[in-house]
A and B are shown apart, each in its own frame.
Chain A
Amino acid sequence: MPRYGMMIDTRRCVGCFACRLACQMKNTLGPAEGFVHFEHLETGTYPNVDAEVVPLQCMHCEDAPCQHVCPTGATFTNEDGVVLVDESKCIGCKYCMVACPYGVRMIEEKSGVVEKCRFCWSDELGGPNSPSCVSTCIANARVFGDLDDPESEVSKAIAANDAKPIAGDLTKASIYYVR
């Protein structure tokens, strides 16, 4: 079984919002909704400054706090390490929203389900359907693939860049960052 994950290279990210918009379209979200959020960091004082944009989305944690607190089992991790939401079980209690340390769960207006990034998981395909945040990225800042396959592009990129989850070992996240 693969264990899917991603690497985001914030050295490349310019905060253009293409990932949020491609994702919104592919996942049929409302115009005000997005699975990807952005933190804008400014450091230094003029003229010695830097600016970093950190895109945040569901980290597909191995130890997912949102799953632990879900009273109905709506949030679950599938065999491929992807954290998903069973719409039919979600009662909209928002426990998951409170528990998520990354603040990336959101109520989808049309269904009332508390949704999040699903790595573009497709039941039809039985796997991720080419995550659109990766394929659209104009700065090539994202790499996706099987973390358990040392030969995968994502595993190699993580190793080569010494990428780390945004909050260290906190939740055993499957998204790794280069900063």
Chain B
Amino acid sequence: MSKTMTRRGFLRTSAAGAALAAAGVVGYAEWQSGRAHADEGSAASGDVKRVSTLCNGCSNECGLWVNVRDGVIHTLEGNPDNPNSGGRMCGRGHGFAQMTYSADRLTQPMKRMENGEFEPISWDDAYAEISEKLMGIIEKNGPQSFAFIRDPRPNINFYAPRFTAALGSANIYTHGAACNLSLQSAYKHTVGGGFSADVENAKMIMFIGRSYADGITPASMKKLAELSVNGDAKIVIVDPRFNNSGHLADQWVPIRPGTDLAMLLAMSHVLIEEDLYDKSFVNDHVLGFYAFKKEVEQFTPEWASEICGVGADTIATLAREMAQAAPAAVIEPSWRAAFGCAHQNSFMTGRAVAAFNALLGNYGQKGGALITSSPSLGKLPASKFPEPPAAKGTRVGNKEYPLAVPFMGTNLAALKGALDGQIKAMFFYQSNAAKGYANPKVWEEGLGKCELVVDIDVQMSETAMLADYVLPECSYLERMEAVYTLGGKKHTVSLRDKAIDVIHPETRPADQIFRELSAACGVGKYFDFTVDELVEAQLATVGLTVDELREKGIVELPTSDFEYGKVPEFATPSGKIEFYSVTIGRAGLSPVITWQERKARPAEGEFYFVGGKQSVHSHTMTTGIESLMNISKDYHLERLWMNASDAKELGIAEGDTVEISSSEYTDKIDVHVTERLMPGVVFCPTHYGGSSPYLKQGYGFGICIPNFQPFDMEPGTGATMSQEFTVSIKKVGA
């Protein structure tokens, strides 16, 4: 059965949506004219209010102030008291707010019919049909045949695990396998959890693949710009591409993709060989140092240079400079970038980053690597908020991928489960898995084998196109969510709050969807409260009220125990930084940190491939937004980057169209010729190539990178290995 929406079905549902939406403001132009009107009337009589909320344009949860005029969003600003926004707001955040007024939003529940077309369905009918199918599947196959995948956000982090557990399933996942699962798992097993770089106090900071200018947290960007212009620190960017943070750096170190590990091992070799490491710190806080020392004896800068393409002298000098600046020297922990989920050796690369920082003795030190705690809310009263019992089974994938961070798990195991017939029902929340987490054709096959696929989203994403039921959530500016806690040097609580009334009457917030759906599934007793009641109860556990939080937008809790100079606790089995890990050894990987190859290597004439983010987009979820896509189109942001010498050899000029092929896929794309990329490597952003006709702005623009990626999982963690492929390029018409 074809799962693609036909043109006719698409038009019909659009028309239905437009009719329903007539009550509110729908479409960019209508929104703008409404705003212009509000402007004129606002001076004397307009209803102007400022609402504090959290952005939903990525997972930073930046605090915002929303200026609302006559019930319409006017402008947004960063909340200066919020540690992530630092009072600023990035472009995609401004753009993402406009999705609220998009004419392309989902406006009513949809059901895929026998003929593959989507038809509107009432909420009551959708709940009745979904619950009947879901409970039937669970009765027949057991609760472990159900899986839930979400992009973690405050609300869904509360509701999705609760809903999954209430149904007796352990199969709850985040998008992590396609984000930073490898490195988060590496840090967990090496230093006990994630760490941050103390950017503003660093004397030397090295970024590997990570670019604050491309994958933005505004406050971090501001600190890095300040450090670059007014600080006396040395900033080093290790990346095959001179990324958009390159301009702020003192040194660009181009490196072959997926070989950062070789450079890190050689840098460790230099510190140990030349006695430049922090011996007292290592003695007190490292487990397995001698095994590691023995291991890295062979990993000389000359050895690494052959593999990674960075000069041996450069490697040795960087190591020495870091040692000299220590403990105010740090390798930044990164995010998705080069070793979040990219290669077979990403987990090992993360371990080597954590270990190099340990050799510098920088943990807890000013300008070093900071491990901070997170606040926790108290226990909710069980009478109103009873906890469902923990699921009896083990999450699908935990056995094969035991090193994955428990909060994330590997959602690709659920996909494998669907392919194997083990998973029969799958739910998604704000998760365009089928476009970004692994090869889309594999998702289409896996979801095609499921008996029930349900997607909750604000727009008809490519994953929604593969669902049996699509439940439309109202946008983030139209809903309140569960309390958000943020750890760090300070502990804070903040709230995603409702800035405007719901525009489309048939869209509902997630808390309502779960309350109603769980009741239909017979587990309503775990959801018998509104989100307002939940927030009130959550805040009460830390002695706060909703009004207090609304007034300030963010409140600091007195619970942080952070102080500079104090070596943090390492939450590993040994309580030490584990250069040697029994747990990792048991999972079948090398217990000691060592060299591991990347998997795919280019044959003669082929290229390494690197993907990456751009400042104006967030995964694939912003490609329906007109003002952001106009920037992509005006500035040709979809183009494939190629080094000028490679381009010359292939007879390619700026803007020429090439055919790009991997083992899995072939497509066409225009080329950007540049000196900002290592020869032998091509770069392409990972946002484009939309294939949902609902999202008109991004439909057919650029190429979809996961199409090129073989379906595979990193040993130990189950991460997607998003860059384990090579490509051949030829000029179209040549």
Q: Flag whether B134 is at the interface (Cβ < 8 A).
A: no
User: Which residues from A are CB-within-8-Å of B631?
Assistant: 17, 20-21
Q: Flag whether B630 is at the interface (Cβ < 8 A).
A: yes
Q: Flag whether A44 is at the interface (Cβ < 8 A).
A: yes
A1-25 CB contact bits vs B (8 Å, 1 = yes)?
0000000010111111110111011
When chains A and B are docked, how far (Å) is the Cα of A49 from the Cα of B90?
A: 26
Q: Which residue of B lies closest to A51 (CB)?
A: B247
When chains A and B are docked, how far (Å) is the Cα of A137 from the Cα of B76?
A: 13
Q: How large is the interface on A (under 10, 10 to 19, 20 to 34, 35 or more residues)?
A: 35 or more
User: Which residues from A are CB-within-8-Å of B89?
Assistant: 18, 22, 136, 138
Q: Flag whether A153 is at the interface (Cβ < 8 A).
A: no
- Pairwise interchain contact B91-A25, C-beta atoms closer than 8 A: no
Residue of A21, A25, A47 with most chain B CB atoms under a 10 A cut-off: A21
User: Which residues from B are CB-within-8-Å of A169?
Assistant: none
Give the contacting residue for A140; candidates B74, B213, B222; CB below 8 A: B222
When chains A and B are docked, how far (Å) is the Cα of A46 from the Cα of B222?
A: 28
User: Which residues from B are CB-within-8-Å of A21?
Assistant: 91, 94-95, 616, 627-628, 631
Q: Flag whether A72 is at the interface (Cβ < 8 A).
A: no
- Pairwise interchain contact A45-B94, C-beta atoms closer than 8 A: no
Q: Flag whether A124 is at the interface (Cβ < 8 A).
A: yes
Q: Flag whether B708 is at the interface (Cβ < 8 A).
A: no
Q: Flag whether B450 is at the interface (Cβ < 8 A).
A: no
User: Which residues from A are CB-within-8-Å of B88?
Assistant: 18, 135-138, 140
Q: Flag whether A168 is at the interface (Cβ < 8 A).
A: no
When chains A and B are docked, how far (Å) is the Cα of A20 from the Cα of B674?
A: 25
When chains A and B are docked, how far (Å) is the Cα of A47 from the Cα of B239?
A: 12
- Pairwise interchain contact B32-A30, C-beta atoms closer than 8 A: yes
User: Which residues from B are CB-within-8-Å of A32?
Assistant: 626-627, 630, 634
Q: How far is the CB of B97 from chain A (nearest CB, A)?
A: 8
Q: Flag whether A152 is at the interface (Cβ < 8 A).
A: no
Q: Flag whether B678 is at the interface (Cβ < 8 A).
A: yes
When chains A and B are docked, how far (Å) is the Cα of A44 from the Cα of B252?
A: 13
When chains A and B are docked, how far (Å) is the Cα of A44 from the Cα of B676?
A: 9
Give the contacting residue for B675; candidates A20, A42, A140; CB below 8 A: A42
Query: Using a Cβ–Cβ cut-off of 8 Å, how many residues does chain B contribute to the interface with A?
Result: 59
When chains A and B are docked, how far (Å) is the Cα of A109 from the Cα of B351?
A: 54
- Pairwise interchain contact B225-A139, C-beta atoms closer than 8 A: yes
**Given A46-B644, A49-B242, A51-B242, are A18 and B225 also a contact pair (CB < 8 Å)?**
no
When chains A and B are docked, how far (Å) is the Cα of A46 from the Cα of B643?
A: 8
Q: Flag whether A163 is at the interface (Cβ < 8 A).
A: no
Q: Which residue of A lies closest to B39 (CB)?
A: A28
B605-643 CB contact bits vs A (8 Å, 1 = yes)?
000000000011000000000111011001100000001
- Pairwise interchain contact A14-B635, C-beta atoms closer than 8 A: no
User: Which residues from B are CB-within-8-Å of A46?
Assistant: 254, 643-645, 675-679
- Pairwise interchain contact B248-A14, C-beta atoms closer than 8 A: yes
- Pairwise interchain contact A47-B252, C-beta atoms closer than 8 A: yes
A32-53 CB contact bits vs B (8 Å, 1 = yes)?
1000001010101111011111
User: Which residues from B are CB-within-8-Å of A9?
Assistant: 229
User: Which residues from A are CB-within-8-Å of B247?
Assistant: 11, 13-14, 50-53
A-contacting residues, B664-714, CB 8 Å: 674-679
When chains A and B are docked, how far (Å) is the Cα of A46 from the Cα of B681?
A: 13
A123-158 CB contact bits vs B (8 Å, 1 = yes)?
010000000100111111100000000000000000
User: Which residues from A are CB-within-8-Å of B33?
Assistant: 110
Q: Flag whether B226 is at the interface (Cβ < 8 A).
A: yes
B246-257 CB contact bits vs A (8 Å, 1 = yes)?
111000101000
When chains A and B are docked, how far (Å) is the Cα of A37 from the Cα of B23?
A: 36
Q: Flag whether B221 is at the interface (Cβ < 8 A).
A: yes
Q: Which residue of B lies closest to A49 (CB)?
A: B675
- Pairwise interchain contact A49-B626, C-beta atoms closer than 8 A: no
When chains A and B are docked, how far (Å) is the Cα of A93 from the Cα of B242?
A: 43
**Given A22-B89, A31-B626, A136-B94, are A49 and B43 also a contact pair (CB < 8 Å)?**
no
When chains A and B are docked, how far (Å) is the Cα of A17 from the Cα of B507?
A: 31
Q: Flag whether A26 is at the interface (Cβ < 8 A).
A: yes
Q: Which residue of B lies closest to A15 (CB)?
A: B244
Known: A18-B88, A46-B254, A138-B89. 14 other contacts (CB 8 A): A14-B213, A15-B244, A16-B213, A17-B615, A18-B89, A18-B91, A18-B93, A25-B97, A31-B630, A32-B626, A32-B634, A44-B675, A49-B675, A138-B90
Can you list 13 contacts pairing A with B, beta carbon distance less than 8 Å? A14-B212, A15-B213, A18-B89, A18-B91, A18-B93, A22-B91, A30-B28, A32-B627, A51-B244, A135-B87, A138-B90, A138-B222, A140-B88
The 10 lowest CB-CB distance pairs between A and B, nearest first, are A14-B213, A31-B626, A16-B615, A139-B225, A21-B94, A18-B91, A12-B225, A17-B91, A138-B218, A31-B627
